[in-house]
């Protein structure tokens, strides 16, 4: 089986395309294993769909996810490079249809409209905002990103079945750290997490509706809010191809 590896802002994905859908949870665990497999935050399986594409998305633990922001950007670039779509197309995800545009190795995607689940939660003496940007995210705006706590993030992930983000605004830029469910650890980046933090910062702190956002990887991502929808763009790298024997 030929597998391609793509990296988007520090999130890495194993990707292949096929013409039939089935449960590939066990395969995802094998492929995403960083010691015995290819190693990735998630597995993306691309399938043709009405002049566009749809996907099966698996976290590294084999669980399904409706949406992954950085994963969607990697999926568009993979599909374009493999002749499955043109530079502008759509992707059917579990969270709905999103559009994408490829320009060289920069990909911009338009997410489904964000949903407000709660904006005044209190946990461990901290205020949390709760948004759905394709998947649910808890967001806490802090003074110091070193306050990020894996133990607290794990507890809140279980309590709310959500990803957990710490964010800080510095000179009009947004810096984010994210604990991702399905990976069950902090990751170098999370597209929907950055989108949730951006949305919360615009709503509650007057952040500009077009900003640069930096995840733990340090790679810059551009986010903008237009007509109630979040757009985000950044570079995607095709890092290598491999043959996986299982």
Q: Does residue 12 sit in the same domain as residue 69?
A: yes
State yes or no: pLDDT of 130 exceeds 80.
Answer: yes
Q: Does residue 10 sit in the same domain as residue 102?
A: yes
Q: Does residue 95 sit in the same domain as residue 106?
A: yes
pLDDT given at position 162: 97
Q: Which domain holds residue 204?
A: 115-227
pLDDT given at position 213: 96
Active site amino acids: 68, 190
Place of tokens 């922001």: 69
From 162, 191, 227, 229, select the one nearest 72 (Cα to Cα). Answer: 191
- Mean of pLDDT values over 65-75: 93
State yes or no: pLDDT of 60 exceeds 90.
Answer: yes
Q: Does residue 69 sit in the same domain as residue 169?
A: no
State yes or no: pLDDT of 246 exceeds 80.
Answer: no
Please count the residues of the chain. 246
pLDDT given at position 10: 87
Report the CATH number at residue 157.
Answer: 3.10.310.10
- Mean of pLDDT values over 201-226: 95
User: Does residue 242 contact residue 2 with C-beta atoms inside 8 Å?
Assistant: yes
pTM: 0.88
Q: Does residue 50 sit in the same domain as residue 129?
A: no
Helix (H) or strand (E) holding 101: strand 96-103
Q: Does residue 106 sit in the same domain as residue 148?
A: no
Q: Does residue 100 sit in the same domain as residue 155?
A: no
Q: How far apart are CA 149 and CA 217, in angstroms?
A: 17
% of the chain at pLDDT higher than 70: 100
Domain count, the chain: 2
pLDDT tens for residues 138-184? Answer: 999 999 999 999 999 999 999 999 999 999 999 999 999 999 999 99
From 237, 242, 225, 200, select the one nearest 38 (Cα to Cα). Answer: 242
Could you list the residues known to form a binding site, using ranges. Answer: 11, 59, 69-70, 163, 180-181, 191-192
Q: Does residue 128 sit in the same domain as residue 141?
A: yes
Tokens standing for 241? 């191809």
Tokens standing for 50? 């009405």
39: DSSP letter: -
Label residue 111 by pLDDT band (50, 70, 90). Answer: confident
Tokens standing for 158? 């279980």
Could you list the residues known to form a binding site for substrate, using ranges. Answer: 11, 59, 69-70, 163, 180-181, 191-192
pLDDT given at position 240: 97
Q: Does residue 16 sit in the same domain as residue 103?
A: yes
């Amino acid at each position: 089986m030929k597998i391609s590896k793509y990296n988007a802002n520090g999130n890495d994905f194993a990707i292949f395309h096929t013409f039939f859908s089935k449960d590939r949870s066990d395969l995802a665990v094998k492929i995403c294993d960083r010691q015995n497999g290819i190693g990735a935050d998630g597995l993306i399986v691309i399938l043709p769909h009405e002049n566009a594409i749809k996907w099966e998305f698996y976290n590294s633990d084999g669980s399904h996810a409706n949406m992954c922001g950085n994963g969607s950007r990697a999926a568009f670039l993979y599909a374009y490079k493999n002749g499955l779509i043109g530079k502008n197309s759509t992707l059917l995800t579990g969270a709905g249809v999103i559009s994408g545009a490829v320009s060289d190795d920069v990909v911009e995607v338009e997410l489904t409209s964000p949903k407000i689940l709660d904006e005044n939660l209190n946990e461990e003496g901290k205020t949390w905002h709760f948004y759905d940007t394709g998947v649910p995210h808890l967001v806490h705006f802090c003074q110091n990103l070193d306050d990020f706590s894996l133990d607290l993030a794990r507890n809140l992930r279980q309590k709310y079945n959500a990803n957990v983000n710490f964010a800080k605004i510095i000179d009009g830029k947004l810096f984010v750290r994210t604990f991702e469910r399905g990976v069950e650890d902090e990751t170098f980046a999370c597209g929907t997490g950055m989108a949730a933090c951006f949305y919360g910062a615009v709503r509650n702190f007057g952040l500009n509706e077009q900003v640069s956002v930096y995840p733990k990887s340090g790679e810059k991502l551009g986010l903008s809010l237009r007509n109630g929808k979040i757009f985000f763009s950044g570079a995607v790298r095709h890092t290598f191809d491999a043959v996986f024997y299982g």
